[in-house]
């Protein structure tokens, strides 16, 4: 089989890239290790920056997002007995859109299916070959049969556990990592959200987040120990702990109910450099991970897709390799700023096991500065709504 762009991974990065390229008449084949149902079963953050919304529009996939997504013009931050709001639109003129990543991925699958896009599911043993030449190819196995896909370019959109990153020789690759000493226990419940905007809470018992999917579906998280298992936490224990970490007024109003999903995610910051090797380009979680505080994972994947889409268009439409040559540098410049923001926001909001009395005072000073200083709020708002592409 032959195509122009071989895309490894059918998560949001791979699907968005495939759909954008299709709208410009550039062919691709997506190779996905799992099934569509499996991909759509994953629950991830759901806060979209304007840049991602614009890409979904360009991909022709934004109708449901506009109809069902919620525009949020600010967020609440609490610590101790204090709570304040950071107003995104007042500081930046931009809101964010709350719309679940699962729904966004579903919209992309629907669009690919409507357009007759080629997605191969259940692929095994995906290998990248000759990426440092002008004739790369990908080999893989489906239903026990070996296959070969020849292409002009390979997009490695296969997430943190994918194979694409490993295809860049070790002596050319540099990895940067920070692992946080806690996780997030998250639940989804068919209850109305406690507040119409998100609440990020720093409490002496640890971080908590009140988020949502829609008026009837809430998403809540509490910081937990890395040794905890979801089954260690009954629903009642979760609700009790959440109420102790958020301001009393919200805790009193919180509507609880059975969880329909419960899981624990570790927190990690990770970046690999470069994001390009020859004709292989890494996008999204394949190249970088952020802790979920601030919901930058999907949005950073989107900015990679934007730069790669522009570069490939420039190549096919104008015969220029300028965009391709600049891809890694441009993508990484933005990635590192999102890494910094996610690290800062995580550091501000969590309790660390080894935090000294001094560290705690510094954290409170940082929160009080943010509460009282317009410039600090503007800087936070600019990062939260998304830095420009």
Q: Which residues of 196-235 are buried (b: 16+ CB within 10 A; e: fewer)?
A: ebbbbbbbeebbbbbbbbbeeebbbbbbbeeeeeeeebee
Tell me whether residue 11 or residue 323 sits nearer to ligand APR (CB atom).
11
Active site residue 384: yes
Active site residue 169: no
The residues of the shown chain that bind ligand APR, judged by CB under 6 A, are: 8-14, 31-34, 39, 44-45, 101, 123, 126, 157-159, 161-163, 284-286, 297-298, 301
Active site residue 292: yes
Choosing among ligand APR, ligand PHB, none, which partner's interface includes residue 183 (Cβ < 5 to 8 Å by kind)? none
% helix / strand / coil in the chain, to the nearest 5?
Answer: 40, 30, 30
Tell me whether residue 28 or residue 299 sits nearer to ligand PHB (CB atom).
299
Q: Which residues of 317-335 are buried (b: 16+ CB within 10 A; e: fewer)?
A: eeeeeebbeebbebbbebb
Choosing among ligand APR, ligand PHB, none, which partner's interface includes residue 34 (Cβ < 5 to 8 Å by kind)? ligand APR
Neighbours of 25 (CB within 10 A): 10
Choosing among ligand APR, ligand PHB, none, which partner's interface includes residue 39 (Cβ < 5 to 8 Å by kind)? ligand APR
User: For residues 235 and 315, what is the distance between their CA atoms, to the nearest angstrom?
Assistant: 53
Determine the size of the site formed for ligand PHB (CB under 6 A).
11
Q: Which residue has the tokens 């990770």?
A: 270
CA count, 13 A, side-chain hemisphere, 223: 25
Query: Segment contacting ligand PHB (CB under 6 A): 29-37, 117-125, 291-299, 322-330?
Result: 291-299
Query: Segment contacting ligand PHB (CB under 6 A): 5-13, 42-50, 106-114, 158-166?
Result: 42-50
- 328 scored as a contact of ligand PHB (CB under 6 A): no
Tell me whether residue 121 or residue 160 sits nearer to ligand PHB (CB atom).
160
Query: Segment contacting ligand PHB (CB under 6 A): 287-295, 303-311, 317-325, 368-376?
Result: 287-295
Q: Find the binding residues for ligand PHB in span 43-62 (CB under 6 A).
A: 45-47
> Which residue of this chain has its Cβ atom nearest to ligand PHB in the complex?
211
Choosing among ligand APR, ligand PHB, none, which partner's interface includes residue 75 (Cβ < 5 to 8 Å by kind)? none
Answer for the pair 152, 137: CB distance below 8 angstroms, yes or no. Answer: no
Active site residue 378: no
Tell me whether residue 63 or residue 125 sits nearer to ligand APR (CB atom).
125
Q: How far is the CB of 102 from ligand PHB (least distance, A)?
A: 10
Distances 35 to 11, 102, 206, 257 between C-alpha atoms, Å: 11, 14, 36, 31
* Selected catalytic residue, list 22, 288, 296, 350: 296
Query: Segment contacting ligand PHB (CB under 6 A): 80-88, 156-164, 286-294, 369-377?
Result: 286-294
Q: Find the binding residues for ligand PHB in span 166-205 (CB under 6 A).
A: 198
User: For residues 314 and 318, what is the distance between their CA atoms, to the nearest angstrom?
Assistant: 5
User: For residues 134 and 130, what is the distance between their CA atoms, to the nearest angstrom?
Assistant: 8
- 295 scored as a contact of ligand PHB (CB under 6 A): yes
Q: Residue 217 belongs to what H/E stretch?
A: strand 217-224
Which is nearest to 137 in space by CA: 158, 155, 154?
154
* Selected catalytic residue, list 72, 91, 306, 350: 72
Neighbours of 359 (CB within 10 A): 13
Q: Residue 236 belongs to what H/E stretch?
A: helix 235-245
Tell me whether residue 86 or residue 138 sits nearer to ligand APR (CB atom).
138
User: For residues 298 and 302, what is the distance between their CA atoms, to the nearest angstrom?
Assistant: 6
Burial bucket for residue 237 (CB in 10 Å: 0-12, 13-18, 19+): exposed
Binding residues vs ligand PHB (CB under 6 A):
45-47, 198, 209, 211, 219, 292-295
Q: What residues are annotated to the active site?
A: 72, 200, 292, 296, 384
């Amino acid at each position: 089989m032959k195509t122009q762009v071989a895309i490894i991974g059918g998560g949001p990065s791979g699907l968005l890239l495939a759909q954008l390229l299709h709208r410009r008449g550039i062919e691709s084949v997506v190779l996905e290790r799992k099934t569509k149902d499996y991909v759509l079963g994953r629950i991830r953050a759901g806060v979209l920056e304007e840049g991602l919304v614009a890409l979904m529009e360009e991909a022709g996939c934004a109708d449901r997002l506009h109809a069902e997504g919620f525009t949020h013009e600010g967020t609440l931050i609490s610590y101790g007995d204090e709570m304040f709001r950071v107003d995104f639109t007042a500081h930046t003129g931009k809101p964010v859109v709350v719309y679940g990543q699962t729904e966004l991925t579903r919209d992309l699958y629907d669009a690919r299916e409507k357009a007759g896009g080629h997605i191969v599911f259940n692929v095994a043993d995906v290998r990248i070959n000759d990426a440092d030449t002008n004739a790369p190819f990908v080999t893989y196995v489906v239903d026990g049969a070996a296959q070969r896909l020849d292409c002009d370019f390979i997009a490695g959109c296969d997430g943190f556990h994918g194979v694409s990153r490993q295809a860049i020789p070790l002596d050319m690759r540099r990895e940067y990592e920070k692992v946080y000493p806690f996780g997030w226990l998250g639940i989804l419940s068919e209850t109305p959200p406690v507040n119409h905007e998100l609440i990020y809470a720093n409490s002496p018992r640890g971080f908590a987040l009140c988020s949502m999917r829609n008026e009837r579906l809430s998403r809540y998280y509490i910081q937990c120990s890395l040794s905890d298992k979801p089954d260690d936490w009954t629903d009642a224990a979760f609700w009790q702990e959440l109420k102790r970490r958020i301001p009393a007024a919200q805790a009193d109003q919180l509507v609880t109910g059975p969880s329909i999903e419960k899981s624990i995610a570790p927190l990690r910051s990770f970046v690999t450099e470069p994001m390009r090797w020859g004709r292989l380009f890494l996008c999204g979680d394949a190249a970088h991970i952020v802790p979920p505080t601030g919901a930058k994972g999907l949005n950073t994947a989107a900015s990679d897709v934007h730069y790669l889409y522009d570069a490939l268009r420039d190549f096919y439409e104008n015969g220029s390799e300028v965009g391709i040559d600049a891809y890694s540098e441009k993508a990484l410049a933005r990635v590192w700023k999102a890494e910094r923001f996610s690290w800062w926001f995580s550091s501000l909001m969590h309790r660390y096991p080894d935090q000294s009395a001094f560290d705690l005072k510094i954290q409170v000073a940082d929160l009080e500065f943010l509460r009282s200083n317009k410039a600090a709020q503007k800087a936070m708002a600019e990062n939260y709504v998304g830095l420009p592409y």
